Every structure is written in C-alpha cells, then in structure tokens.
C-alpha cells in the first residue's frame, strides 16, 4: 500500500513569495495533519483536516493556511514567506476512529527561504 | 511553558545495554502517549503508544506511563546500532478541541547513539 506522498520534496523561495505544498494520504485515511519541523522548535502542529473541514489549528499566524479536497488530498499554503519559515513541512495521515490510530508521516517538503 | 519535555541528549549507550528515554508533560488531561523514532533525514515513525498507567512491552521496547507524575518513558533492551536515532515523545492533546480531534504535541526529542 502506498504511503503518504508529499510534493515537492525540496523547494527554494525568496522572502515575500508564497508557496503551496501538497499531500496525498494513504488510501482510506481521511484525516490529514500538517507539522513544521525546525532544529530550534522541533515538530510543531500546524492544522488537521478531516472530511474537508479544519478541525483544529496550531499557534501559527494566518499566513499559514490549508485545505482538504473531497479525495482527502490536502494542500497547505504559506503566504508572504519569511526567513523563519525555512523548515521541513511534514504531512501525516491516519485512520479516524474512536481510538485514534498511528500517524503515518510523509517524507516531507523541505522549504528554504532566502 | 513547554508542554512536553525531553532531555535532548545525546544519550550514548554501548551495544547490548538498556537505553532509557524519559519525557514529562504538563497537561493532566492528556490521554494518549506516543514514542516516535526519527532517523536522520527521515520522517518520524511510530514505535509505541500507551494509554494506561503501567508498562507496555513490544519486543525490545517497553513504554512506561505514570499519569500521577506526568511521566512517560521508553526502555530499549539489548540496544543495537540500528537503534541510533532521535526519539520523539508525543502527547495527544486533541481532547481539548472536541471529540475526534487529534493534535500531537511533540517533545524536541532525545538523540540516542548506540556504540558498537
């Protein structure tokens, strides 16, 4: 079974630009979460989507947004990029249910902001 | 205040020894606890989860939970060089946000090095 697929894997942007990252979850997984990983802050929760609805959002500015499509694929967007947005952005999917299962992470999209 | 704390390490143990990784959390309402392993340049992968006080064993791994002390630990017996990685403790605080919500708060991880 295919894993979580994230595209692009690497990208370089300049300050002020915007970026869109894509995530295809494991087939059958309807929950998609996004995390930012940096050496200084570690893994930080951005948001979770389930059935095209954002269920909760982490402590990030409004420049960070996301959405989920009817096929459970998700995108996240960062507008007006800042140097501090340089990070590994990880998408994770899971089976939704009464006892939340494990998160399956994609390999991530590494964003460098110059 | 940080919600999940781990010693950053590095923690070095000889091959065959027991590696002990510790984690504390601040939210008493937390219900589920996870240990992820992350190899350098790779994404995290779940190795253990625990919901109830006490010990839970899976092969060479044992997770221990003490909710009264807000403490979670991971023991790795017979450590192997292939266990060298960063171990991330994670806590599900999703219950704050309503039923079905799922938000993991991660510690910054402990880097484990197993010396042959």
pLDDT over threshold 60, residue A106: yes
* Confidence band, pLDDT 50/70/90 cuts, at residue B100: low
**CB within 8 Å of A98: residues ≥ 6 apart:** none
User: What is the 3-class SS of chain A, one letter each residue?
Assistant: CCCCEEECCEEEECCCCCEEEEEECCCCCCEEEEEEEECCCEEEEEEEEECCEEEEECCCCCCEEEEECCCCCEEEEECCCCHHHCEEEEEEEECCCCCCCCCEECCCEEEEEC
Pairwise pLDDT comparison (B49 vs A100), residue with the higher score? B49
Higher pLDDT, A25 or A103: A25
Q: What's the gap in Å between the CA of A113 and the closest CA on chain B?
A: 19
Task: Say whether residue A25 is in contact with chain B using an 8 A CB cutoff.
Answer: no
Q: How confident is the model at residue A95 (pLDDT cuts 50, 70, 90)?
A: confident
Percentage of chain B exceeding pLDDT 70: 91
The pLDDT of residue B1 is 55
pLDDT at res. B31: 82
pLDDT single digits (tens) A37-66: 999 899 999 999 988 999 888 999 999 999
Instruction: Verify whether the Cβ–Cβ distance B101 to A55 is below 8 Å.
Output: yes
In this complex, how many residue pairs, one in chain A and one in chain B, have their CB atoms less than 8 Å apart?
Answer: 57
pLDDT of residue A101: 59
B106 and A106 in contact by Cβ < 8 A?
no
B residues 15-54 near A, CB within 8 Å?
32, 34, 42-46, 49
CB neighbour class for A74 (10 Å; exposed up to 12, middle 13-18, buried from 19) = buried
Q: Please, which pLDDT band fits residue B101 given cuts at 50, 70 and 90?
A: low
Higher-pLDDT residue of B114, A50: B114
**A68 interface with B at CB cutoff 8 Å:** no
Q: Which candidate from B43, B102, B106 shows the least CB-CB separation from A48?
A: B102
What's the rounded mean pLDDT across residues B85-114?
82
> pLDDT tens for residues B48-81?
999 889 999 999 999 999 999 999 999 999 999 9
């Amino acid at each position: 079974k295919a894993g979580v697929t994230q595209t692009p894997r690497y990208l370089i942007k300049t300050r002020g630009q915007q970026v869109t990252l894509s995530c295809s979850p494991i087939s059958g997984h309807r929950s998609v979460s996004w995390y930012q990983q940096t050496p200084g802050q570690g893994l930080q929760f951005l948001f979770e989507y389930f059935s095209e609805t954002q269920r909760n959002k982490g402590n990030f500015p409004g420049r960070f947004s996301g959405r989920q499509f009817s096929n459970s694929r998700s995108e996240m967007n960062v507008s007006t990029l800042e140097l501090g947005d340089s990070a590994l952005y990880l998408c994770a999917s899971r089976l939704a249910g009464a006892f939340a299962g494990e998160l399956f992470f994609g390999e991530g999209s590494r964003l460098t902001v110059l | 205040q940080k919600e999940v704390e781990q010693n950053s390490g590095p923690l070095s143990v000889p091959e065959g020894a027991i590696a002990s990784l510790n984690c504390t959390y601040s939210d008493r309402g937390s219900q589920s606890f996870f240990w992820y392993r992350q190899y350098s340049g790779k994404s995290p992968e779940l190795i253990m989860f625990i919901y109830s006080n006490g010990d839970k064993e899976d092969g060479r791994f044992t997770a221990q939970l003490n909710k009264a002390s807000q403490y979670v630990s991971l023991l790795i017996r017979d450590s192997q060089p292939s266990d060298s990685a960063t171990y991330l403790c994670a806590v599900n605080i999703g219950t704050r946000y309503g039923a079905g919500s799922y938000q993991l708060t991660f510690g910054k991880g402990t880097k484990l090095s197993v010396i042959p």
